[in-house]
Amino acid sequence: MEACDGRDAKVSSQKSVRNMKPGDEVYGIITDVMDSKALVAVVPISDDKRIRFSPGDTAALRVQDIADRYVKFVKDEFRVGDLIRARVVSTTNGIDLTTQGSSDYGVIKAFCSKCRNVLVLKENKLMCRDCERPETRKLSKYYLVTGE
Ligand SMILES: [Zn+2]
């Protein structure tokens, strides 16, 4: 009982991740995709731009919070392993994310669902160079790998 008084909370670097609040921007890796939500391992985007990864900080991104347009299934926009940029909307019942409302948010790096090669962004379309297959995602303007 007395070990839980929280006095040491401020000196633990682990706590910085759990201090996320609505409005904070995060990077995340999609770890699970269901019809109605994705689970995302999140990393806060700090002022010094360094990424501190703390495994176990899982957030939820619901299908209705993905895009400003209607999205039927999460898998139409995100796949497991994709790297995304998102914003925290709530921390009251776990961490909830959104990728709505700004072209900042969405996938910044994605992988071919067939061969797992990184997808290249060319003329606003994502493409696997090896499979020559187009794929669709909710794209961020910060998408990292662009074609020539
Ligand atoms: Zn491929």
pLDDT in tens, 22-74: 999 999 999 999 999 999 999 777 666 565 555 558 999 999 999 999 999 99
CA-based end-to-end distance of the chain: 61
Look at residue 55 in the predicted model and tell me its pLDDT.
Answer: 56
Q: How confident is the model at residue 145 (pLDDT cuts 50, 70, 90)?
A: confident
pLDDT exceeds 50 at position 101: yes
Compare 98 and 16 and report the one with higher pLDDT: 98
Cα–ligand 1 centroid distance for 25 (angstroms): 30
Domains and CATH numbers, the chain: 20-135 (2.40.50.140)
Using the mean position of ligand 1's atoms as its centre, give its distance from the Cα of residue 80 in Å. Answer: 15
Cβ-defined contacts of 44-49 (< 8 Å, 24+):
44/16, 44/17, 44/20, 45/85
What pLDDT is recorded for position 136? 94
Lowest mean pLDDT among 10-14, 16-20, 21-25: 10-14
For residue 50, which phi and psi values (nearest 5 degrees)? -80, 145
Which is higher by pLDDT, 4 or 80?
A: 80
How far, in Å, from the CA of 127 to the mean position of ligand 1?
A: 8
- So what's the pLDDT on residue 54? 58
Going from the Cα of 12 to the center of ligand 1, the distance in angstroms, rounded, reads 42
Confidence tier at 3 by pLDDT (50, 70, 90): very low
Whether pLDDT at 17 is above 80: no
For the chain, the average pLDDT equals 85
123 CA to centre of ligand 1 in angstroms? 18
Residue 30: partners with Cβ closer than 8 Å, 6 or more residues away: 38, 39, 40, 78, 79, 80, 81, 82, 84
**Is residue 97 exposed (0-12), middle (13-18) or buried (19+ Cβ within 10 Å)?**
buried
Query: Per-residue pLDDT tens for 103-113?
Result: 999 999 999 99
Q: Give me ligand 1 centre to Cα 138, in Å.
A: 18
